[in-house]
Amino acid sequence: MNKKEKIQAEQNVCPERRTEMMKKVGVAILGVGVVGGGTFKTLTEHREFYKKTQNVDIVVESVLDRDHERAKSIGVPAEVLASSIQEVVANPNVDIVIETIGGCGVAKDFILAALQEGKTVVTANKELICKYSHELERVAKRNGCGLYYEASCVGGVPIIRTLLDGVQANHITEMMGIINGTTNYILTKMAQENADYASALKEAQRLGYAEFNPTNDVDGYDAMYKLSILSSMAFHTKVPYGKIMREGISQVDSRDIAFGKQLGYTLKLLAIGKSGEDGIEARVHPTFIPNAHPLASVNDAYNAVYLRGDAVDDIMLYGRGAGSLPTASAVVSDVIYAATHSEIKYSTFKNTATAEKGVKFISDFTSAYYIRLSVEDEAGVLAKITGIFAKCGISIVEVAQKSKSEAGEDTRIPLIIITHKTTENSVKSAVAKINQSGITQVKAVIRVEE
């Protein structure tokens, strides 16, 4: 049959026959905790809806979880509970394996086992994809199956789909993201309620936004993994997490948030990636952005990614970066995509363990800076400090002197300097010179993006 005849034949079948032609896809879920549980719920409650709107019947054929009682409590039927990964991947009815365990331990072994049996994998595991996508993708390709990970970054926001199929016509030159909900919640609290870091963290822990050991979030590891994945896709070259500068929020002083606000800035933990002729820079750190910037009004546990492309100019995607159902939305979106598309779109870059040869990463990047010092209220101090900046080749946009009461200090007053764009190394050098000068100590250095 040629193409035209085939289409004709399809159009002539009776309605019953057409229903038979609906694709049936079996899935397994590994781990039914927060995200896996939400995925089970979404898939089962929406089964008829997907049959109607996507022409695909997605059936949960297998669930693997150490805790059978937990699985049963969310409605998993006893007959689909598997007792080992071998049982899951040997099941001929399972076409797609969903991994929602997390971490780089059994999750990795299970995914490899599934890929080796020719099962397409959908995962929400950012750390694993960041660290081992080259290995997993190689095995996936070798076995002719797909590897999807929309849910690994920014929860329900379809940022990976957008990079692959929405803005792929562009050279992406810049990406700035609020991609960690915990830290955004803490910084929002600090800004809105003038809370200090410790009490905002405590509140975040009480509400379940932060873990008991918050390091992964507050020290920027989570954002770093996601930035590695997203900037690799955006810039079409592997950006290993080892090349990402990382600074968390645990040293953020609420006074700087307040002073920044007076100067027209909002403080966010930004994941920043830039790609230009000189190379690529990738960094995660607390950043001041102008209050009018679209990212400045992204508050609480919300996430957003702002992109700049050479055709589309600037666009932003905003939504919930975590949570059971929002993340399940991304998992199931990948399942439907895998079930309804023949072509498997792997990463659009050479997926290597380390950076590709010839790709340059810039560590001495350029930025504007907010610098706070604590100075004696004496004549000549400002001249000495600005002299040091001048010697380091840094030009100053604005100097703001605050009152003692605002700083809660006794004899010293806070002095804030906003610089023009300069290099990271110049600022480091100026800060070292000031600290060694005996005049004063630098209390805070915060990078500023426009």
Residues that bind its own copies (CB under 8 A): 3-4, 6-7, 11, 38, 42, 46, 49-50, 52-54, 141-144, 155-158, 161-162, 165-171, 236, 292, 294, 297-298, 309-320, 323, 325-326, 328-330, 332-333, 335-337, 340-343, 345, 348
Q: Which one, 41 or 384, has the nearer CB to its own copies?
A: 41
396 CB neighbour count, 10 Å cutoff: 16
How far is Cα 405 from Cα 407, in angstroms, rounded to an integer? 5
Q: What's 357's DSSP letter?
A: T
CA 179, CA 301: separation in Å to the nearest integer? 9
Kindly state the tokens that stand for 196.
């200090």
Cβ atoms of 115 and 145 closer than 8 Å: yes
**d(C-alpha 255, C-alpha 267), whole Å:** 11
Strands 441-448 and 366-376, by their bridges, are: antiparallel
Q: Beta 23-30 vs 81-82: how paired, if at all?
A: unpaired
Which of 42, 329, 36, 323 is closest to 159 using CA atoms?
A: 329
Active-site residue flag, 72: no
Residue with smaller CB distance to its own copies, 115 or 371: 115
Q: Which is nearer to its own copies, 199 or 348 (CB)?
A: 348
> Pairing between strand 412-419 and 396-401?
antiparallel
Catalytic residue (choose from 108, 126, 189, 226): 226
Question: What is the distance between the alpha carbons of residues 258 and 372, in angstroms, rounded to a whole number?
Answer: 12
- The residues annotated with a catalytic role in the active site are 226
